[in-house]
Amino acid sequence: ATNVALPEGSILALYTDGLIGSRHLDIDQGLARLRNALAHPAADLDVLCDTVIGTLRPEDRTDDIALLIARTHALDARHVASWDLPADPAIVAQARKLVTAQLAAWDLTEASFVTELVISELVTNAIRHAAPPIQLRLIHDRHLICEVSDASNTAPHLRRAHTYDEGGRGLLLVAQLTRGWGTRHGDTGKTIWAEQDLDVLQPGI
């Protein structure tokens, strides 16, 4: 895992080597062309993608091309809430209350039901299968992101429970009720995140 501090507004370009190399183009030359194409400002990232692809796509392409461009966007403290949690199963109910109160402060009470379910599953998994310290974080941007971090590097796996199993359905519900979920590994453990759609963008976002 590598951490890199990026200023706000930085542009990240992730690509496959099919974009910058071909039989008639050296990789170093392809990288130089890519840097030059990315150096031209563009308000719309879709336009920038089209520009890069149009500029670099080799005529004798023999490999697939994938390009993902993103721009960093910082959130102020009003849009982030975090809590350190003890590794105690009794804290799950308190975590739900903390989340419900925060959603009310953000005027997102309609997201409470799904968020409480997500938080219950992720916090419970961290307490049962991971290691402290455990941190819960909510991020309110264009979507609502729930994150639970712990000190373990073991990531959970989605599985389908059998009819008479008492457990094993939590992550399946999280996957079905959110727009996406995943694991992010760091220097001191991992973070499990789940992202929900918000029907209406909130003022100030």
According to the model, what pLDDT value does residue 160 have?
A: 60
Q: What distance in Å separates the CA atoms of residue 79 and residue 72, rounded to the nearest whole number?
A: 16
Using the CB atoms, write b or e for 176-196: b if 16+ within 10 Å. Answer: eebeebeeeeeeebbbbbbbb
| pLDDT of amino acid 203 | 43
Instruction: Name residue 16's amino acid.
Output: T
pLDDT score for 86: 96
Give 128-134 contacts, CB < 8 A, sequence gap 24+: 128/89, 129/154, 129/156, 130/154, 130/189, 130/190, 131/87, 131/189, 132/86, 132/87, 133/84, 134/84, 134/85, 134/86, 134/87
25: CB partners within 8 A, 6+ apart: 58
Strand partners, 193: 147, 182
Supply the pLDDT for residue 54.
Answer: 84
Domain at 77-197: CATH architecture:
2-Layer Sandwich (3.30)
pTM above 0.85, yes or no: no
Check residue 135 and give its pLDDT: 97
Residue spans per domain, the chain: 11-71, 77-197
User: Look-up: residue for tokens 């990232």?
Assistant: 45
Residues of the chain with pLDDT under 50: 161-166, 200-205
